[in-house]
């Protein structure tokens, strides 16, 4: 049996931890830890945690480090063999503690996994494993669907959700943790794709369940974070041949998003995300070299984790358009075929450009 360190990042989360912390603390074993990293709450969250769980380790950062930065602080302070990052508004169901550890020792070979995240009091899915489109757009798989028996046998996800993400502590620290420059959103996608680059396998443990008080809408600023961090993930993690072949599609996506953003009222945020990306480009290229230096799979193997379909209800008309679906699938089929061409990739060791990136 492994020891578990559960890390919860808070910011003005007093009400949320009043539900999640007692539900978790009641299940912890001897040797387990609850670590709460507080990002400068003004509502008394740290004190509330101390009242709810006297043994909790509370780290007050004194500033808002963002999700990734605070998670990394918690991981550095942790002593458990298994880390579990849990959102403050995600309430563990009965049996969660035992179930979230199970993949570590039962031979499944997963390097990181998530719980089955529910919503609406456990009646519907919030995410049963994230999906990543080849443009970097990502969403919660199965969101809004009724919980049913099919959720007992779940395929490997495109990414594991940061709402409840489990990973070996040494593996997490060895990867450098979450990308702190993101501040908020997409850190779980970036981490999952870095794991895939290194040859890792991801999973979803359906017996470990948490109920997430989730709402997609969190103001226009969310679009700025999502868009800049989508580009940061693509720049950092996509192997060179894949990035080159996707460039026309990525540029077409940007043109389409201008119209979508204008219609949705977040055009200013989209333009700000472009500015953020441009200003961060030197840093992102440097980080790309470091990330690609860990790569153990070819571009075509990495690409298998991505999808051609925009299958999220949050994407509106784009997810329902049969014409767009045919175009996206056709383009993606051509990209994958070219990636698998011996003249482009050759072998799992990659092209000369790929090998150069890994050795630089």
The answer to whether residues 198 and 311 belong to one domain is no
- Rounded Cα gap, residues 168 and 116, in angstroms: 18
Among candidate residues 226, 29, 248, the one with its CA nearest the CA of residue 138 = 226
The answer to whether residues 27 and 141 belong to one domain is yes
User: Residue with structure tokens 């395929």?
Assistant: 155
Q: Which pLDDT value is given to residue 352?
A: 46
> pTM of this prediction?
0.93
Average of per-residue pLDDT values in the chain: 91
User: Residue with structure tokens 């990306």?
Assistant: 277
Within 13 A of 10's CA, how many CA atoms are on the CB side? 33
The answer to whether residues 19 and 114 belong to one domain is yes
Ranges of the chain whose pLDDT falls below 50: 345-353, 359-360
pLDDT digit string, tens, across residues 210-266: 999 877 666 778 999 999 999 999 999 999 999 999 999 999 999 999 998 998 899
Give the end of a domain, one of 191, 212, 233: 212
The answer to whether residues 71 and 190 belong to one domain is yes
Within 13 A of 138's CA, how many CA atoms are on the CB side? 32
The answer to whether residues 177 and 267 belong to one domain is no
- Look up the domain containing 229 and give its range: 221-359
The answer to whether residues 145 and 48 belong to one domain is yes
The answer to whether residues 152 and 259 belong to one domain is no
Give the end of a domain, one of 162, 195, 212: 212
Q: Please spell the DSSP secondary structure of 100-120, one letter per residue.
A: HHHHHHSS---SEEEEEEEET
Q: Which pLDDT value is given to residue 346?
A: 35
The answer to whether residues 231 and 208 belong to one domain is no
Our measurement of the distance from residue 354's CA atom to the centroid of its chain's CA atoms, rounded to an integer in Å, reads 25
Give the end of a domain, one of 192, 212, 232: 212
The answer to whether residues 137 and 196 belong to one domain is yes
The answer to whether residues 228 and 207 belong to one domain is no
Domain count, the chain: 2
Q: Which pLDDT value is given to residue 353?
A: 47
**Phi, psi (degrees; rounded to nearest 5) at 157:** -80, 160
User: What's 134's domain CATH number?
Assistant: 3.90.550.10
Q: Please spell the DSSP secondary structure of 24-71, one letter per residue.
A: HHTTPPTT-EEEEEE---SS-HHHHHHHH-TT-EEEE-SS--HHHHHH
The answer to whether residues 181 and 60 belong to one domain is yes
The answer to whether residues 242 and 262 belong to one domain is yes
Q: Which pLDDT value is given to residue 322?
A: 86
Q: Which pLDDT value is given to residue 341?
A: 79
């Amino acid at each position: 049996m492994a020891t578990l360190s559960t890390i919860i990042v808070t910011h003005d989360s007093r009400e949320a931890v009043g539900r999640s912390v007692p539900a978790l603390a009641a299940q912890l074993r001897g040797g387990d830890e609850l670590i709460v990293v507080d990002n400068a709450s003004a509502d008394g969250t740290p004190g509330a945690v101390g009242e709810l769980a006297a043994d909790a380790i509370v780290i007050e950062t004194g500033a808002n480090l963002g999700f990734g930065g605070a998670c990394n602080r918690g991981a550095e302070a942790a002593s458990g063999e298994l880390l579990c990052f849990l959102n403050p508004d995600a309430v563990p169901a009965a049996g969660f503690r035992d179930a979230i550890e199970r993949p570590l020792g039962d031979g499944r070979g997963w390097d990181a996994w998530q719980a089955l995240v529910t919503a609406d009091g456990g009646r519907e899915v919030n995410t049963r494993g994230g999906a990543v489109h080849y443009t970097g757009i990502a969403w919660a798989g199965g969101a809004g669907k009724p919980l049913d028996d099919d959720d007992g046998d779940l395929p490997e996800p495109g990414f594991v959700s940061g709402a409840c993400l489990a990973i070996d502590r040494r593996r997490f620290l060895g990867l450098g943790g979450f990308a702190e420059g993101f501040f908020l959103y997409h850190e779980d996608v970036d981490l999952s794709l870095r794991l895939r680059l290194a040859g890792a396998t991801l999973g979803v443990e359906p017996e470990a369940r948490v109920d997430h008080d989730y709402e997609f809408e969190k103001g226009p600023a969310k679009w700025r974070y999502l868009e800049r961090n989508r580009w940061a993930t693509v720049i950092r993690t996509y192997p060179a041949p894949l990035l080159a072949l996707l460039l026309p599609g990525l540029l077409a996506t940007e043109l389409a998003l201008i119209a979508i953003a204008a219609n949705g009222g977040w055009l200013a945020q989209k333009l700000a995300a472009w500015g953020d990306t441009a200003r961060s480009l030197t840093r992102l290229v440097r980080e790309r070299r470091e990330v690609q230096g860990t790569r153990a799979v070819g571009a075509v193997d990495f690409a298998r984790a991505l999808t051609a379909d925009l299958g999220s209800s949050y994407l509106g008309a784009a997810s329902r358009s049969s014409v767009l679906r045919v175009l996206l699938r056709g383009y993606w089929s051509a990209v994958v075929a070219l990636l698998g061409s011996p003249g482009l990739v050759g072998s799992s060791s990659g092209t000369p450009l790929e090998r150069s990136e890994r050795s630089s």
